[in-house]
């Protein structure tokens, strides 16, 4: 019988590679496409780090630190505009060290990644309109595709 091992234990053993579910880290990490590498944290986390942590409801979450406080961290997913204020070192299981996009590994030490992180955190005041607009455009794209597939079907129903 296979033994079930927790994320906490896997990270403690060295590292964890997981495909996050959801859109809360869009546009950096995309649902169903990207895979993240998580390693044990070394001391306190820093601004721009992306910890894997367990929230009060017991869910595992991967979001970016936007501010470090004496009590813990202010965290926000790249694809959301609400902030989380109750994350402490005790909640954090590990830290993202990079992610795989297709076959390419992108380290959090990559200059382009660092630039993206800093710009995206500084634009937090603009996130709500950006996210709302992107959702509307995504919905419009799906609607256009749906209509086009009905109009241009090869086997039209008569």
For the cut 90, the answer to whether the pLDDT of residue 151 exceeds it is no
Query: 26-30, 100-104, 147-151: which has the minimum mean pLDDT?
Result: 147-151
Q: Calculate mean pLDDT across residues 87-109.
A: 95
**With a threshold of 0.95, does the pTM exceed it?**
no
Angle of CA points 131, 69, 107, to nearest 5°:
60
């Amino acid at each position: 019988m296979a033994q079930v091992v927790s994320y906490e234990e896997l990270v403690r053993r060295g590292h964890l590679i997981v495909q996050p579910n959801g859109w809360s880290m869009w546009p950096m990490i995309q649902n169903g496409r990207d895979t993240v590498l998580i390693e044990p944290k070394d001391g306190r986390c820093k601004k721009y780090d992306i910890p894997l942590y367990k929230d009060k409801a017991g869910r595992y979450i991967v979001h970016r630190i936007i501010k470090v406080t004496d009590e813990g961290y202010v965290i926000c997913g790249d694809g959301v505009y609400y902030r989380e204020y109750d994350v402490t070192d005790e909640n954090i299981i590990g830290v993202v060290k990079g992610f795989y996009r297709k076959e390419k590994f992108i380290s959090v030490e990559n200059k382009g990644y660092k630039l993206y992180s800093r710009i995206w955190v500084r634009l937090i005041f603009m996130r709500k309109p950006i996210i709302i607009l992107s959702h509307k455009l995504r919905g419009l794209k799906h609607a256009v595709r749906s209509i086009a597939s009905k109009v241009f079907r090869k086997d039209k129903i008569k």
